[in-house]
Amino acid sequence: MKILIITGPPYSGKGTQCEILKNLLNYKHISTGDRCRLEKEQGTEIGKELSKYEKKGDLVPDQIIKTLFSQILDENRSEEGIILDGYPRTIPQMDDLLALVSEIRIKH
């Protein structure tokens, strides 16, 4: 699987560019915000954790986001490529993503 990362501040056009690239490359677009909202709506364990931090106005710890992206990568193993919109946002998150990708390559 190939992974394309789109970064930028809010309302900078990331989603628009992701849609163009999705159609051009035939990759799956994964929006962090959309996925987090879905997890909360479905009441998953991760969704409950996300809601807990959101209600307090706190940032969600990287470990929770890493767990979410581990699931996302596992769910999309068969995709030729994915476009990540909104993740990673920090150097530690990038390190986590690289570790997750390495684990997947070792397992599969």
The per-residue pLDDT for 3 is 92
Model-level pTM?
A: 0.83
The 3-state secondary structure of the chain, one letter per residue: CEEEEECCCCCCCHHHHHHHHHHHHCCEEEEHHHHHHHHHHHCCHHHHHHHHHHHHCCCCCHHHHHHHHHHHHHHCCCCCEEEEECCCCCHHHHHHHHHHHHHHHHHC
Question: Is pLDDT of 104 > 80?
Answer: no
* Domain map (residue ranges) of the chain: 2-34+44-107
The per-residue pLDDT for 54 is 93
The CATH code for residues 2-34+44-107 is 3.40.50.300
